[in-house]
Structure 1
Amino acid sequence: MLMNRTNQTEDDFSCYHPSVVSYRYFTVVLGCAVIIIGTVGNLMTILAFALQPQLKTRFNVLIVYLALVDLLYCIMLHPFSVDAYLHLRWRTGELWCSIYSLLFFVFNSVSIITLCLIAGARYLMVTKRAMFDRVFSDFGLPLLIISEWVLGLVTIAPLWRGNRFEKRMCICNIDQRMYHPYPIILLCFFFFGGMVCVGTFYLLIYIRVRRSSQALLRHRFNHRHSRKKPASPARDTNDSGIESSVANTCGCETSSQGEPAKKTDEINSETSSQSTLSSATAQSATECPSDVITTSPSPTSALASSPCSKASGEDEHVAGMCLAVLLGFVFCFIPFSLIMLLELVDKHYHPRVLLMFCLNISWLSSCVNPVLYAAMNRQFRQAYSVLLTRAAAPFTCLWPL
């Protein structure tokens, strides 16, 4: 009888099926690549934040925190998933199976909430910087991070008794028969609700940045139009109408004598340009964040290095990077989320290989973010380069070029 119970327990943790015998090698290779790239990339992101002073901002704290969650995902969960696929059996016991399932959903929920915080923080930085300073202060930011874990644990903990080994996906998952409506509610709340929240923030950021860009274009057009207007300064002319400016004849010998008329033209032109700049700045004051609108002593320099222009370009760049992180997360998880939602609602069981493939694609979310940072953020790219140079220094000494 003991032998029968042991065999039954072993069968409960076995995911062997003829259709996945060959597919498992693809999963093992993909899982090992995700572990290596995710661990190295997310660790480099954390080290870059710790070692590079220009990256130590409150907004980047959320980026690094997301990297920390992905790093924990790669270290604590992926190795056991790869082992289960390699042997087509869960070999670490029932208790760790329940812990694995709990951590899997908690890590994913925390990642989604962090993406919402990143989008909300960026929106406040663009529109209401004072509120951003209050919400994401030295006290508020740790409180938000702690609240993420509390919310994830409180919502996922009731599913503890329903965690079991899912043979069709070869991982530990929630038993759909025990908590039929609750997993659907959690899936809609975290994944679909979170994506709608993040998408709304980025849409508002896009509208705001678009308006700022249009205001800047209007400002430049008005300035160029004002410079094309003919100036009418008082000039000394003779009876025939020919100018008799001293600067035209003696400018090389005595520059101090030729400056008054020239200064008069420059003062009139500068006064006209400054008045145009002031009106354009006042017009675009509602379009740009109040903490980046400053006055410039020269209209030309104001156009060349306008704080509003720099802020608008930076907002577009950072918002684009954050949007890429969101899209990467969505594209990685939407196949798995949709197929799980269909099985929860319709009770329609899909082929094992399709289930496993959708699950394996979701693994990429834990290693794709450092690649996006390196591709779209100059500061992170430079920090990665410094870290790689330092890491390669001992080998460079051994094998000099």
Structure 2
Amino acid sequence: MTFYTPETQRGRMLLNTTDLYGNDSFSCAQPSVEGYRYFGVFWGSVVTVVGTLGNVLTVLAFATDARLRTRFNVLIVNLALADILYCTILQPVSVDSYLHLRWRGGATWCQMFGLLLFLSNSVSIISLCLIALSRYLVVAHRNSKVARLLLSRQGVAVLLMSSWALGLASFGPLWPVYVFAPQVCTCSFHRIKGRPYTTILLFMYFFLGLGFVGLFYFLIYRKVRIASKALIKYRPSRRSSRRKQPEPEGTDGDDSGIGVGTAATQSSEISEQAVETDHSKSSVNDPQTIPSVTKTVTKIPNGKKTSPKAAAPTPSPSPAQSSSPGEDNEFKRVTRMCFTVFLCFVGCFAPFLLLNIADKKSKAPQVVHMFCANLTWLNSCINPLLYAAMNRQFNQAYKDLLAKAAWPIMRLWKKP
């Protein structure tokens, strides 16, 4: 029987860990990154504070502001929860690794970190896909059975739970190959041992998934542009045959039409009641239908009746065209905000993905790998800033929450 001293046993355990993960140690110290690590610590600390505060404010704004509690904004909250997971739990660990240039959590926590990291990223990508899909369905297939099913309360709940379940099911099998990657001073899956499964996953999520998001926004842009051109041609006939009506307020909270009783639906109902007899009606489900010349008697809200007149065969507007200018502008603003979130996600991850594809043999300087990895951190904290800058209601909700949080401090400050 062979006896080992405690030091020998620890050495054997370290050797076994080294053999298992293919790394010499849990250290990422190199002379070229000794100075850069302080930038990584500073940058990671900013992302932790700003990302945690901003995403928590997003969730609280949704919970406290009735105007923001819509089914479309549930998708934004799901994206915020994925960012909270990263900023609050994972980012401080990365800051500690950069500060010491060493992973100090052990092998098991390294595996857990890698799983949570890719779970957060996968849920973010799935949420971006669902947001783009919902915007497209509202524009192109608002009254279809598929849109009503997916955008119903139960449908949205199933989609949210499925996003987390799919992310866990996708990256959970990689548990044995999550290792410490010295190039980026964090834990990730092994670049060789996980193939070809890891290659398929990255292609499906980062290339195929984000490609579909870009396709949906292109289709939205094309649909809105066609509707805008048709509306310009349609306005002269409306002005000549309809009375001027007050413009309803824009629907900043539920512009998507996903919620029940949206302003877009209400305004269309009001316009149908107040329409004069010389303005023809057509089915919303068939925007291309041109009604025939008929004689009708339409009731006005005050109980009076109009004299029958022949209706001119004017083209009926699509749902996008029938909304008021305020609603149309608000829809474009929210869609533009969602598209900007998507572009920021792509911009943050593109350099890191392209570098790993081009540098298969890891010949690029370590500081370049670390810098590209640091760009991905920005994605988790930038979304609330975009909401505040591009959405009035989120901006106002943030201000109200911050004012309520600062009120006790200001009260104590004013006391003599």
Aligned counterpart, 2:94: 81
Superposition pairs of residues 265-344 of structure 1, within 5 angstroms: 274=276, 277-278=279-280, 286=287, 307-343=323-359
Structure with larger Rg: 1
Would you say the 8 A contact 2:241–2:279 is kept in 1? no
Aligned counterpart, 1:183: 198
Aligned counterpart, 1:210: 225
> Structure 1, residues 125-170: CA drift from partner, whole Å, max 9, x if none?
2222233331122222221122222221222122211111111111
Q: Does 1:156 align with 2:171?
A: yes
Amino acid at match of 1:211: I
Once the two structures are overlaid, the 10-residue window that deviates more, 71-80 or 24-33, is 71-80
Aligned counterpart, 1:53: 66
Aligned counterpart, 2:253: none
Superposition pairs of residues 138-157 of structure 1, within 5 angstroms: 138-157=153-172
Equivalent position to 2:40, from 16, 27, 30: 27
Would you say the 8 A contact 2:98–2:185 is kept in 1? yes
Aligned counterpart, 1:109: 122
Would you say the 8 A contact 1:215–1:284 is kept in 2? no
RMSD: 2.8
Q: Give the Å deviation of 1:283.
A: 11
CA distance in 2, matches of 1:31, 1:314: 35
Question: Paired residues, what number?
Answer: 340
Would you say the 8 A contact 1:209–1:312 is kept in 2? no
CA distance in 2, matches of 1:174, 1:72: 19
Equivalent position to 1:350, from 364, 370, 376: 364
Aligned counterpart, 2:400: 386
Q: Does 1:364 align with 2:378?
A: yes
Aligned counterpart, 1:242: none
Would you say the 8 A contact 1:97–1:165 is kept in 2? yes
> Structure 1, residues 49-81: CA drift from partner, whole Å, max 9, x if none?
000000010000000111011011111110110
> 1 or 2, which has the higher helix percentage?
1
CA distance in 1, matches of 2:322, 2:160: 35
CA distance in 1, matches of 2:123, 2:363: 28
CA distance in 2, matches of 1:224, 1:133: 33
Amino acid at match of 1:364: L
Aligned counterpart, 1:2: 9
Q: Give the Å deviation of 1:108.
A: 0.6
Structure 1 pair 138/306, CA: closer, same or farther in 2 (3 Å)? closer
Equivalent position to 2:390, from 372, 376, 384: 376
SS in 1 for 2:364: coil
Structure 1 pair 7/157, CA: closer, same or farther in 2 (3 Å)? closer
Q: Does 1:124 align with 2:137?
A: yes
CA distance in 2, matches of 1:296, 1:34: 59
Would you say the 8 A contact 1:59–1:118 is kept in 2? yes
> What are the ranges of 5 or more consecutive residues in structure 1 without an aligned counterpart?
228-272, 288-294, 299-304
Amino acid at match of 2:361: K
SS in 1 for 2:153: coil
CA distance in 1, matches of 2:62, 2:368: 39
> Structure 1, residues 322-365: CA drift from partner, whole Å, max 9, x if none?
0011011111111111122234xx43532100000000010011
Amino acid at match of 1:122: R
Would you say the 8 A contact 2:28–2:102 is kept in 1? yes
Aligned counterpart, 2:208: 193
Q: Give the Å deviation of 1:390.
A: 0.7
Structure 1 pair 173/282, CA: closer, same or farther in 2 (3 Å)? closer
SS in 2 for 1:77: helix
Would you say the 8 A contact 2:345–2:379 is kept in 1? yes
Q: What is the TM-score when the length of structure 1 is the normalising length?
A: 0.78
Aligned counterpart, 2:150: 135
Equivalent position to 1:97, from 100, 107, 110: 110
SS in 2 for 1:178: coil
